[in-house]
Structures are given as C-alpha cells and as structure tokens.
Amino acid sequence: MVEILDAKTREKLCFLDKVEPQATIAEIKNLFTKTHPQWYPARQSLRLDPKGKSLKDEDVLQKLPVGTTATLYFRDLGAQISWVTVFLTEYAGPLFIYLLFYFRVPFIYGHKYDFTSSRHSVVHLACICHSFHYVKRLLETLFVHRFSHGTMPLRNIFKNCTYYWGFAAWMAYYINHPLYTPPTYGAQQVKLALAIFVICQLGNFSIHMALRDLRPAGSKTRKIPYPTKNPFTWLFLLVSCPNYTYEVGSWIGFAIMTQCLPVALFSLVGFTQMTIWAKGKHRSYLKEFRDYPPLRMPIVPFLL
C-alpha cells in the first residue's frame, strides 16, 4: 500500500492500495496522475522524506526502506517542458537572428545599408561558421544526444532563450555592421582562427558521438568515458568534459576570427557556465566510480 502526502502541508493526497511490491516509482506516478490529472508524471517529485532527494523513476518499491504502507511525499516541480523542445528553440533562434543581421534586414542599420553586403570576406566566413555551429547543434539534438532527464522546468526556456538569442543578436550586430573593422593581422589571423574553430567543432562532435555510444538507446546508464580510436577523443585522458573544452575553444576561435569584443565576452560567460557544469559532472563521476582516472581535470587540462 502506498500513501502520498504533500511535502509542505503533510496533507493526505492519495491512497493507493493495490500496488505490487515490484512496482516502480514511474508506475506509482502514473497511478497518482489518475487521481490528480493536473500533476502529470514529469512534474511529480516523490521522496521518502519531505526534505530529501527525489526518488528515481526506476526505483522499485520493495527495495526502498519502507514498511507495509509506504509513505511518499509529493512536491510539484512546476510546469515542465521537454529538453528536446528547449534545445531546438534556443538553437534555432541564434541561427535565424544572425542571418537577419547578416542580410542587413531593414530597421537594424541605416536605411542606405538595407540588404547590402559587407565588403570584408571575414564577415561572410563568420556567417558560415556561426550558422554551421548552430545547424550542427540542432542536428545533434535531433539525432545524437541521449538525455538522462526528459523534462526541465518551463521557466528555463525563457531564461535560456534570452541568453542565446540576446547574445546572438548582440554579436551579429557588430560583426555585420557597415562600420565593422576586420582583424588587425588580416588573413593570417583569420586562417589561424578558422583552424582552431574547425578543429574544435570536429572535436566537440567526436565527443558527442563517443558519449552517445556509451549509452544504449532508451537507457539512462552512466559509464566512465574513455578515449577511442578517434584522436579527438584522446582529450578524455586529461579532462572529464572535453565537449565543453572544445566548445570554449570554438568560441575563442570565433572571437579571434572576428576580433569582436562581444564575442569574447560571450565566450567568457559560456566558459564560466560550462566550468560550473563540468565541475558538477566531475564530482558525480568521482562519487559514482571508485576507479575514476585521477589525472583528469573537469574542463581545462591540468588547471581547472
């Protein structure tokens, strides 16, 4: 038997009396939704203690430390949205917005510049790189990534889109501006930057593929990632999250290519956020796997 109480008010919300001992939390959530349809499973957090950690969907009832009547506490996580939806929206925005500036759509720059084209080759190259980057991200979201969580809180989409769309517009405004100044060291600088960008894009993609291959379709298993035959994955020897390392590298390349301070600031903010994520991921790896390779740092080899 399972009783579900509200974690904050301790009010009895639901009493399920025909629950098999081998039932999973996911099945209990589905039963709970039947009596409270406004709380679909994705927004339910069930826990053994009102202030404790959420139980996982795969947890089995009889394996939990409960008596004949299990008391579970319910917390509403708020409206949820799928990760795929969030990723597609937050990446489609920059792709589209950058192009608006590239084509100098009216009301952005002065009227005499409407639909004109920049005379600097680096501006065209930058558009190709930026667009390629976001097309790659969209395709990876659709075909490569395997997400642990199905959903996230709805308010995240507003926060994330503001970040991505806002920065894309800010960068695109300057790079495609009629008064844009090309890099100080000319073609040399652009070539070097392009090399960094391409290497890091390939690296980032290789890591995404390697991570996908670690996890069978439809599962949520976690394993230690190791280098494969692909040289780009050898960065796993030195960092836990080389995908983030390569991502920062790509944006540094783009910043050097465009010599645009807003791009550098965007790279810095992204680096800060990815470092936080990498440190968290690194800590989870260390906690979960006793034999985790000691040489690895979270995001920057040997340093961070």
Partner 1 sequence: MGLRWENRTTCLHPPRKRFPKGRAGQGHVQSRCSRWLVLAIAMVRFYMEKGTHRGLYKSIQKTLKFFQTFALLEIVHCLIGIVPTSVLVTGVQVSSRIFMVWLVTHSIKPVQNEESVVLFLVSWTVTEITRYSFYTFSLLDHLPYFIKWARYNFFIILYPVGVAGELLTIYAALPYVKKTGMFSIRLPNKYNVSFDYYYFLLITMASYIPLFPQLYFHMLRQRRKVLHGEVIVEKDD
Dump strand ranges (E) for the chain. Answer: 2-6, 12-16, 44-47, 70-76, 80-82, 151-153
Cβ–Cβ < 8 Å for 109, 178: yes
Question: What are the angstrom distances between the C-alpha of 224 and each of 201, 218, 221, 290?
Answer: 23, 18, 10, 11
Q: What is the closest distance, in whole angstroms, from the C-beta atom of residue 32 to partner 1 in the complex?
A: 19
Distance CA 275, CA 63 (A): 36
Nearer to partner 1, 21 or 52 (CB): 52
Q: What is the closest distance, in whole angstroms, from the C-beta atom of residue 242 to partner 1 in the complex?
A: 26
Token representation of residue 86: 């969030």
Nearer to partner 1, 177 or 215 (CB): 177
Nearer to partner 1, 53 or 229 (CB): 53
Q: What is the closest distance, in whole angstroms, from the C-beta atom of residue 236 to partner 1 in the complex?
A: 23
Q: Give Cα 294 distance to the centre of its chain.
A: 26
Nearer to partner 1, 261 or 304 (CB): 261
Token representation of residue 51: 């202030």
Q: What is the closest distance, in whole angstroms, from the C-beta atom of residue 101 to partner 1 in the complex?
A: 13
Please name the amino acid found at residue 155: R
The 10 Å CB-count burial string (b at 16+, else e) for 144-169 is eebeeeebbeeeebeebbeebbebbb
Nearer to partner 1, 121 or 181 (CB): 181
Token representation of residue 96: 């589209």
Q: What is the closest distance, in whole angstroms, from the C-beta atom of residue 62 to partner 1 in the complex?
A: 17
Nearer to partner 1, 181 or 273 (CB): 181
Q: What is the closest distance, in whole angstroms, from the C-beta atom of residue 79 to partner 1 in the complex?
A: 15
Please name the amino acid found at residue 301: P
Please name the amino acid found at residue 182: P
Cβ–Cβ < 8 Å for 10, 46: no
Q: What is the closest distance, in whole angstroms, from the C-beta atom of residue 256 to partner 1 in the complex?
A: 12
Residue 241's CB: how many other CB atoms inside 10 A?
26
Q: What is the closest distance, in whole angstroms, from the C-beta atom of residue 178 to partner 1 in the complex?
A: 9
Token representation of residue 175: 């790079």
Nearer to partner 1, 13 or 31 (CB): 13
Cβ–Cβ < 8 Å for 54, 66: no
Contact residues for partner 1, defined by CB under 8 A: 8, 48-49, 51-53, 65, 75, 174-175, 177, 179-181, 184, 258-262, 287, 290
Nearer to partner 1, 52 or 231 (CB): 52
